[in-house]
Amino acid sequence: MKQITLLFICFLNFVCISQNRPALYDFAALPQTLLLNPGADVNYNMHIGLPLLSGLSADIGATNFVLSDIFAADNVNINDKITNFIQNTDARDHIKINTQIEVLSGGFRVDRKNYISFGFYQELDAIGYFPKDVLDLARKGNQPFLNRSFSASQLLYKVDLIGVIHAGISRKVNEKLIVGGRVKLYSSAVNLESRNNTGTITTNLGENNIFTHRFQNLNVNFRTAGIVENNEFIREPSTYLKNTFLAGNLGLGVDVGFSYKVNPQLQFSGSLIDFGFINYNKNIDNTVTQGDFIFDGIDLKFNGENINYWDELDEVFKEQLDTEKNEEGYVSLRPAKLFTAVKYSFGKRRSKVCYNNNQNNYYTDAFGAQLFSVFRPLAPQIAFTGFYEKAFSNNLRAKLTYTVDDYSYTNIGLGVSAQIWKLNFYGILDNITALSDLSSANSVSLQFGFNLIFN
Amino acid sequence: MSIFKKTSYLIFSIFLLSCSQTLDFEQINDYEVAPVFSVALVSFALEAEALDTFIGISSANEIEELTEFRVFENSFIRDNLTQLGFNFELVNQFNRDFNLQITLLDDDDNTIHEFQELNIVANNIDFKQEEIITIQQNPNIINVTQVLLSVRLGNTSLPIDNLDSGFLELKSAVTVHLETSI
């Protein structure tokens, strides 16, 4: 049973496809919106997320690349397809994966003003940029590229598998303003990253020999935490899961947010999520190469001294271009996210529950715009979303979104939230126009979950 | 039908109705890369004084130099090497002919490959020679661990002396052709 549970959690963590966070933002007062804005308006007295099923989300995207580019069964030689793909990419293109599973989630109203929420979720977040220079060098070698400087700075990736325990409060300051904050304790099971690399590798026609190879200002690091223990790879999946429960490398973060109603119909909101860090000091295994080295072959002396040229070269290479492994700890920032939104409500005004002062009246229709930004290693990724939200009844709401981001200019999303008795179900599907051919989609995103909500 | 059921059916229907064109992931097995790396090899620039020591005064008619060459100990190169192209460029500013013999040896000093002798006539300042070795025809080449260079005077009756000006210079490179698949 234990193994089945682990398998199920791993399956959910790595296979489920879902989540465009901007679509969930401020949608239908769902409990999960509090994870995107702790200052969101909450109009119920308590919520309990169904364990492991309250929030399942993932977001898979790639710029300048779709699966069918490479794997379409079109009788085109795959070598040509990959060559075209690499030619069309640049060092800013990337692939990203983000999945989250809410393991536990809950919240309750303390009084008219304060709502406390808490929970635990696991997150896999990975981004890797296409190191075009490295790919060109590996595919074609240096021979076709004399005088071209291959940049090591294009080596840029980050993978995190973490568990997050969090608790937050949403406080209604007055009828117009709600502020909120959340404290997060991160426990990292895995971190792999390479960033802030510098240096170039160049082959020129030489003076002392036919070619001169220059390794200039190289500083390349490959950091890992959580995958090697006592010089051996950790192979037990349960260890990784255990490390997401406070047994891994620990970190701290905060979320802050607000909602401000200019008038009953116009609302501004914003939040900063995952502003924090993780301090890696356990199970570290880093590799660092740094230095300068110029090589133009072995200069033979013919002086009868039986010089061991190869050993000399090896010694100079290791001295000038030092590669060392170390277990030095390091600090890595979490990818902070920034949300801002404006929402205008209109239509019929309804009350969710009569004679309950905790329940806000709401309008049946709303439209607005949201700006989402996540701070990534190379540059922030920005998504702009326009939306229309409709309440068909107290128990059924929908949200239609149009998003422009790095991955698509035609991203239309649909979210639905329904409630029967105390059971709430929500599902959000992004990029629905790509459903006719998922293999040609730059991004795929879906979120769904089940909550018990008590008014 | 309840709202909950309707919504569930709607969401999952959308998923189930989603399509994808036919993909063939097996074709990745056909992917091959064939990088070509050009690498500087050995060089020397011998002036009359150096040549005189070994050719003139000592009356020896040949000087030799040996260096280890352990590139093929790398398993990736051993497994994926298809061809080697050797380029030699020589400058002879002396008014004597020279012969250069380059031999590839294994750890036990056995000859694995002997290049065609480089015969550089007097005052030839633009001598170039290329030799290509395919691994298919010379599979033993990956056992090479040493390179032996022998420089000889073309006419031993006319030794170099200290008064001769100029130099004999060698530049060389190897072009390594690899081929690998995923």
Residue B176 in domain: yes
Taking each helix axis from N to C end, the angle separating A132-140 and A78-88, rounded to the nearest 10 degrees, works out to: 150
Q: Report the gap between the CA of A67 and the closest CA in chain B (Å).
A: 8
Residue B125 in domain: yes
Question: What predicted TM-score, i.e. pTM, was given to this entire model?
Answer: 0.83
Q: How many domains does chain B have?
A: 1
pLDDT of residue B13: 61
B101-130 residues touching A, CB cutoff 8 A: none
Contact call for residues A327 and A284 (beta carbons, < 8 A): yes
CA dihedral A64, A69, A71, A73 (to 10 degrees): 160
pLDDT of residue A363: 86
Query: What's the ipTM?
Result: 0.85
Tell me the pLDDT band of A58, cut-offs 50, 70 and 90: confident
Contact B35 A446 (CB under 8 A): no
Structural tokens at position A162: 């973490």
Residue B168 in domain: yes
- Which range among A210-214, A234-238, A258-262, B46-50 shows the weakest confidence by mean pLDDT? B46-50
Tell me the Cα Rg of chain A: 26
Contact A71 B44 (CB under 8 A): no
Query: 């298809």: which residue's tokens?
Result: B82
pLDDT of residue B88: 95
pLDDT of residue B155: 74
Q: Which of A82, A143, A311, A392 to mutate to test the interface with B (most CBs of B within 10 A)?
A: A143
Mean pLDDT rounded to a whole number for chain A: 88
Contact call for residues A29 and A18 (beta carbons, < 8 A): no
B36-75 residues touching A, CB cutoff 8 A: 36-44, 46, 50, 54, 63-70
Range of the domain at B97: 32-181
CB pairs under 8 A between A and B: 164
Fold of A2-454: Porin (2.40.160)
Contact A139 B35 (CB under 8 A): yes
Is pLDDT larger for residue A10 or for residue A330?
A330
Contact B23 A439 (CB under 8 A): yes
Q: Which residues in chain A are contacts of B68 at CB distance < 8 A? A: 308-311
Indicate whether B50 pLDDT > 80.
Answer: no
pLDDT of residue A340: 94
Q: Report the gap between the CA of B142 and the closest CA in chain A (Å).
A: 17
Q: Which tens digits make up the pLDDT trace of A158-201?
A: 999 999 999 999 999 998 999 999 999 999 999 999 999 999 99
What percent of chain A clears pLDDT 70, i.e. is strictly above it? Answer: 93
Q: Report the gap between the CA of A36 and the closest CA in chain B (Å).
A: 22
pLDDT of residue A351: 67
Per DSSP, A359 falls in state S
What percent of chain A clears pLDDT 90, i.e. is strictly above it? Answer: 62
Q: Does residue B132 sit at the A interface (CB-CB below 8 Å)?
A: no
Indicate whether A245 pLDDT > 80.
Answer: yes
Per DSSP, A32 falls in state G
Indicate whether B23 pLDDT > 50.
Answer: yes
Tell me the pLDDT band of B3, cut-offs 50, 70 and 90: low
pLDDT of residue A2: 40
Contact B65 A78 (CB under 8 A): no
Residue B78 in domain: yes
pLDDT of residue A109: 94
Q: Which tens digits make up the pLDDT trace of A19-37?
A: 346 778 888 778 999 999 9
Three-state SS at B5: helix
Q: What is the C-alpha separation between A279 and A184, in angstroms, rounded?
A: 14
Which residues in B48-165 belong to E strands, given as ranges? 62-68, 81-92, 98-105, 111-114, 118-120, 127-134, 146-153
Residue B67 in domain: yes
Q: What is the C-alpha separation between A449 and B80, in angstroms, rounded?
A: 50
Q: Does residue B82 sit at the A interface (CB-CB below 8 Å)?
A: no
| Helix residue ranges, H only, A174-269 | 237-242
What CATH number has the domain bearing residue B38?
Answer: 2.60.120.230
